[in-house]
Structure formats: structure tokens, C-alpha cells
Structure 1
Amino acid sequence: MRRRFVTVAVTAVFAASGATAWGAAAAAPAKASPPQQAQSGVYVALGDSLAAGYQPGLGDDKTGGYVGGVYQTLRSKHRGAKLVNLARSGETSVTMIAGGKCAYAEGSQLAAATKVLAKDKGRVRLVTIDIGANDVQTCVTRTGVIDLPCVQSGLAAVARNVPTIVRTVRAAAGPQAQIVVLNYYNPFLAVYLLGQVTVAQQSVGLQAALNGAIAAGAGAGDAKVADVATAFKSTDWTPTPTPYGTIPTNVAMICGYTWMCAKSDIHANDAGYALIATTVRPYVR
């Protein structure tokens, strides 16, 4: 996912604690469980710029972002686990399969993943996948103009490609691997601050359609779904006070946990990546 779309992954919970994460404030790392006996294992991360840990002005951080938080949890359980992060900023569900967006010796991210997973088959503990946002993000402008035919075409691509991706990963990783597919938060809620209330409301429906296609694709390969959308309170319109004034809670979450309101950049800040990681942690075993 590049700079203009959401999409997805806080250890401090917005509503429960009353604490917000304005700007780039980082959430405190979760306490690690007492380490168990060292065991081998592999965590393979696939996806777009969220999986690559992108931050505006800093670029990708493949050992940071939500992947870094998930990896920390895995290592607290299996000290010998290693991380292989194949994610690339800008990847779409189309290019993940066919290549063309990012350079991989194997031709595509999915082909590279298949090679790694086949090599480590039997030792793969976890695979995370976030993909699909870039198929639709160019269909919505920063000022809230929605190109519906473009959205429909992007959603069709996600519905067609995500099942193929997940089935291919499952076949290469084996039945013992835990595969987790992440859905996305909705950065376009931020247009509420521009007075585009109707567009902000419409964006919730588009987010639901995208995440529905992702969930259906996850089911094709017996994968779990990490519910980032719910973690970001995407449908909660309850008013809440913020530095931007009293605004809906879902808009406040985007302002607090992404760069969208501060820099017009859709990517998560440190607190947002920590929140995304919490949606995956229940599936780390």
C-alpha cells in the first residue's frame, strides 16, 4: 500500500483507556511471555507497504511496523524463529501474482514466497498477508472524489486474486502453518475534516466491500482473518473530543493512528502499527 490509501495493525486501547495516539506516538511494547525452549520456525510476511513497515519520509522498515511486533510475539514463544519479509510497497493483488511492480528474482512476490515456503516446509509457523488496498486506493482522491467504476474493477481483482494467493501459500507452506490475512482500516474517513461527511460515510461501505472480498479469499486457503477494521473502530460514529475538535470516533482513530490527518499520508504511525499487530497476536502459536 503506498501513500494514498489505507487501508490496515495498539497496545494501548483507544476507548478502554481513554488514551489517544496523536501524531507518531509509539505504543508501549507488549510484555513478552517467558521464553520457552529454543525451537526452530519461520515467519513469512507478505503484502504491501503496511507489511513492509513504510513510514512517510523514512521508507520501508521490514523488521518494524506491525510485522516487527508480530515477530516479537513469535520469538517470545519460539526463540529460534526467523523472519522472512518479502513485502513490497505498492504491491497489488494483480502484481503479487504476475509481477511487474516490484523486482523479484523469481518474477513475483508470490513466486518468491512459494520458493521460501517450499524450502522451509514443515518449519513454517506463521504467514501473514495484507494485500488488496492498492487495487482500489487510486479510485479515491485525497479530496474525497470516488471513481465507482474504478472501485468496482479493483474489488473484482481482489475477489479473483486473493483466493489464488491464499491457496498457493497454503499449498507451499503445508497444513501445519498458521496463515493470517489482514483486512484494512479506512484512511478516507479523514475527508470528514474537509467537510466531506457524505463521502466519509460512503467510504465505510467501500471498506466493507474490500474487506469482505479479502475475508472470502482467506477462506479459500483455511486462513484466519485479523480484523484491523474493527480494531480501528471503523463503523463507530460516536462523537469524541480530539485536538481536531469533537469528531466521530472512527475519524479520530484515523487521525490518531495514521498519518492521514497530519500529513495526508495513509500509512499507520508507530501506534497504528502496534494496534495492527494486536489483531494478529491471537493467532501466533
Structure 2
Amino acid sequence: MLKGMSRRLLCIVAPMVFVFSLFLFPTSSVFAATHAAPIGPKSNYLALGDSLAYGFQPNLNLNHGYGEDFYADLKNHGTSSYANMACPGETAASMINGGCTYSVLRKFPYIGNQLDAAVLYLELNAGKVSPVTLDIGANDMLPDLNKSTCTVSSTWTTDLATMDTNIRQTILPRLSAAMTVNGQRTGDLFLMNYYDPYQNLCPSLVPYVQTLNQHLAADASGYATVVDVFTPFGGAATPNPNTCNYTWMCSIFKDIHATSTGYRVIANAFEQTAGY
């Protein structure tokens, strides 16, 4: 898709996309199961969320995200279809209402907002979609982070509550309902927490990142199983020795997104949590 775009567009988009899924982070005790045992993979895999779900990298390698890695493994279990609806820059609010800034970069075309498109996909493929993976919420909180001063804005608490409302009361209930047929859940829904790409730069912000992930875990309870990415990326200790290898923070790009190695680590976390 990107091959047909002009180089100028890419030069404009790339530096702006760097911060889309910023905020990546949690504590290790954040797992919330919706059912006693996983339902298991089915013919279709659906990936949803922001630029991490999309698989963005600043070198424009867009084919080695965690969705692609997870799908490669799922094919060994009979999964034969992969739909990645993620949009770089997506917030929980824009996932519901539309307006994702870089919708032109979508890998899977659809009209309208991502949540409606996902629900329609699930309904059209009722009983055939599992797993559904999601990472969302980081971009809602991004404006509250100041990495220059290593502080958060006065609207942090209010914005966090709004994010919770959108995820807990709209996104997860609608996805869960669309994955329920005749009163039975037909697929596994996984919500990823975030690693912290700035913990070496701003150690004082780590507690806020952990708070974000704690909120995501609470939001997921009863709807989705949380996949812990924070721990395999190095946890809360600083300096984090994995930051330079798992993200682009130490490269010329100074970018918070995962490298191909980092995306593989994320995919492994999904696989270990799913158990298949």
C-alpha cells in the first residue's frame, strides 16, 4: 500500500508517527481472564488498535509487526485469514468516533471508525474469529506526557478516566458482544498493556506508566485477557537494557516503536498468554 505513495508523503508521515503509540507500559500482575480456559484459534485472526498493532517502524518496515508474527504462528494451528484494522495514531476515542489521523495508512480498508468495522467483521464471520488482539489507550494519554521535563499535565487524571470509560463501557463490551453467539463466547479477546520506551530518559514517569497499565487491567476485567508486554521488555527497573534492542529509541530515529525484535517479543507474550 505504501509503495504507491510519494516519498514526500512518507517523509511527512514518518516523523509524526513516531509518537503514536508512545506510552507503552504496566506492572506484571495485570492478568484478567474472561473464561477459565482459552477457546483457541479459529480460521480468522483480527488485530485491532494503534500503531503498535499496525506494526509501524520508522524505517518503513511495516510487515514485521506483532500481528504478522502472531499470525505466522497461528497458521500452524489452522488459522488461514488475517485482518489488521489497526490505525497509526488511533485513540480509544477515535476508535469509537472515527477521525484516526493516519487512516490513509490502514492495511485493511474499511469505511468509518475502527470499532464499527471490527464489529461488522465479527458479525459477518460469526463464530470463526479467534483470537482478537487489541492495544489501545496510549495515544489518549500522550498529550499529558512531557518528556522534556519528565512531568505529566494537570489533566492526567481526567484523561485517564475518559480513556477508561471509552474502553470499559464501549470498546470491550461491543467487541465481546460481537464475539458471542447464542449466549456463548466464540473467541479469545486479548488486550495488550504497554512497555515504557522513555524509562531510561524519564525514570520518574515509570509510576504513571504502571498506573496506565493498571487501569487497562481493570478495564479488561470480565471482557478480555491482558497480555503483559511490560515485563518481557524489561519491567520497571532503570536503566532498562532492552530499550535499545527492542525499540528504536537509541537509533537515529529516536523512535518509541518496537523493532522487529521487539515485535517478536510482543508476539511471544501473546502466544504465552494464549497458550497456543
Is the CA contact 1:45–1:87 (under 8 Å) kept in the aligned structure 2? yes
Alignment-derived partner of residue 158 in structure 1: 163
Letter in 1 for 2:174: T
Tell me how far 1:141 sits from its aligned partner. 3.1
**Residues 104-119 of structure 1 aligned to structure 2 (within 5 Å):** 105-119=110-124
Residue of structure 2 in register with 1:214 after alignment: 216
| Pick aligned residue for 1:173 from 159, 176, 179 | 179
Match of 1:258 in 2: 247
**CA deviation after TM superposition for structure 1 residue 65, in Å:** 0.6
Q: Percent identity?
A: 35
Q: Does 1:132 align with 2:142?
A: no
By how many angstroms is 1:201 displaced? 2.9
User: What does 1:192-271 correspond to in 2, within 5 Å?
Assistant: 200-221=202-223, 223-237=224-238, 248=239, 250=240, 252-262=241-251, 263-271=253-261
Alignment gaps of 5+ in structure 2: 1-15, 26-40, 104-108
The Cα RMSD (Å) is 2.1
Task: Name the structure 1 match of 2:148.
Answer: 143
- Structure 1 unmatched ranges of 5 or more: 9-38, 192-199, 238-247
Counterpart-to-counterpart distance in 1, 2:156 and 2:244: 24
**Residue-pair matches, total:** 231
The yes-or-no answer on 1:70 pairing with 2:70 is yes
- 1:183 paired with 2:198, answer no
> CA 1:68/1:165 → structure 2, altered by over 3 Å: closer, same or farther?
same
Query: Structure 2: how far apart are the matches of 1:147 and 1:204?
Result: 11
Secondary structure of the residue aligned to 1:210 is helix
Q: Residues 126 and 284 of structure 1 are in contact (CA less than 8 Å); yes or no, is this contact kept in structure 2? A: no
Partner of 1:3: 18
Q: What is the CA deviation profile of residues 255-277 of structure 1, one whole-angstrom value per residue up to 9, with x for unaligned ones?
A: 22101122321100111111111
Distance 1:71 1:85 in 2: 10
Deviations 1:25-79 (CA, angstroms, capped at 9, x unpaired): xxxxxxxxxxxxxx961100000000111011416x2x5311111101111111x
Q: Is the 8 A contact 2:23 2:209 kept in 1?
A: no
* Cα distance between partner residues in 2 of 1:255 and 1:105: 35
1:43-122 correspondence to structure 2 within 5 Å: 43-58=45-60, 61=62, 63-78=63-78, 80-102=79-101, 103=103, 105-122=110-127
Where does residue 28 of structure 1 map in the other structure?
A: none
Cα deviation, 1:205-254, whole Å, max 9, x if unaligned, reads: 11111111111121141x111100111122234xxxxxxxxxx2x2x222
In the alignment, what sits opposite 2:43?
41
The residue type paired with residue 130 of structure 1 is D
